[in-house]
Amino acid sequence: ERLRGRVVGLYFTASWCGPCRRFTPKLVQLYEAAARASPPDGLELVLVSWDEIGDERREYARQAGMRWLALPHSREARALADELTLRYDVTSIPALVVVEVSAD
């Protein structure tokens, strides 16, 4: 519900990924600048982690300053992450897929 009618970036990443660790600070800066410049219903990001261990994902997000939504660490969320990975043909990380969520 929170994402309806918004532009959403799905950020595929993992704590063990060196290129992700280099890209994430740039994405954090972009997200913070967009939050300052746009209306509250502007860009939203969602962390889609490839980490197998929830604690690693949470610690990585905390250390990197990712203050956006994240798929929780659960069997259902893992299935959704796998589905999104296939739907958007994500074959390597980091990957940022920008979609517009329908208001309907």
Residue extents of the structural domains in the chain: 14-100
CATH architecture of 14-100: 3-Layer(aba) Sandwich (3.40)
pLDDT tens digits for range 82-96: 999 999 999 999 999
Using CA atoms, how far apart are residues 103 and 90, in angstroms rounded to an integer? 25
> How large is the angle between the packed helices 54-64 and 18-37, nearest 10 degrees?
50
Using CA atoms, how far apart are residues 13 and 95, in angstroms rounded to an integer? 7
Average pLDDT score, the chain: 88
Q: Given the structure tokens 């959704």, which residue do they identify? A: 80
Token digits of residue 73: 């660490």
Q: What is the mean pLDDT of residues 66-83?
A: 89
Q: Quote the pTM value.
A: 0.87
Instruction: Give the bridge partners for 51, in sequence order.
Output: none
